[in-house]
A = this chain, B = another copy of it.
């Protein structure tokens, strides 16, 4: 019997040199985030996005597996795109879709994977 070793994994993606025209507003960003959620196998519960003035946006998709979040700083070409998953899905698929959708430069990306609630004995 396989025992649980943790409660989930949290992928923190700092995406740089994104296209400001894309990440400045909700509509194109939401489309990319929802496509990423669907194609990585997440079960979407609901989604909520907020437009900042004059530019920039935040959003979150609650998924059965936990959440996907996005915050953008278009004036700096920066986006923080996170995936918290406790279930069966393919985070790398979502990360690739977000990176390509925002046109982030691969060389300037960074990702941290944080194991949540790691249990003793791992």
A77-118 CB mask vs B (1 if < 8 Å, else 0) is 010101010100000000000000000000000001010111
Docked pose: A45 CA to B66 CA in angstroms: 20
Instruction: Judge if A60 is at the interface, Cβ distance under 8 Å.
Output: yes
Main secondary structure of the interface of A (DSSP, over half): strand
The interface centre, meaning the residue of A66, A76, A84, A117 with most chain B CB atoms within 10 A of its CB, is A117
Given known contacts A10-B80, A14-B117, A52-B64, what 6 new A-B pairs fall within 8 Å (CB)? A10-B12, A12-B116, A48-B48, A67-B71, A73-B117, A114-B114
A-B contact pairs, 21 of them (CB 8 A): A7-B76, A8-B80, A10-B80, A12-B114, A14-B117, A16-B117, A45-B50, A46-B48, A46-B50, A48-B62, A52-B64, A58-B62, A58-B66, A60-B60, A60-B69, A66-B71, A66-B80, A69-B69, A73-B117, A80-B84, A114-B114
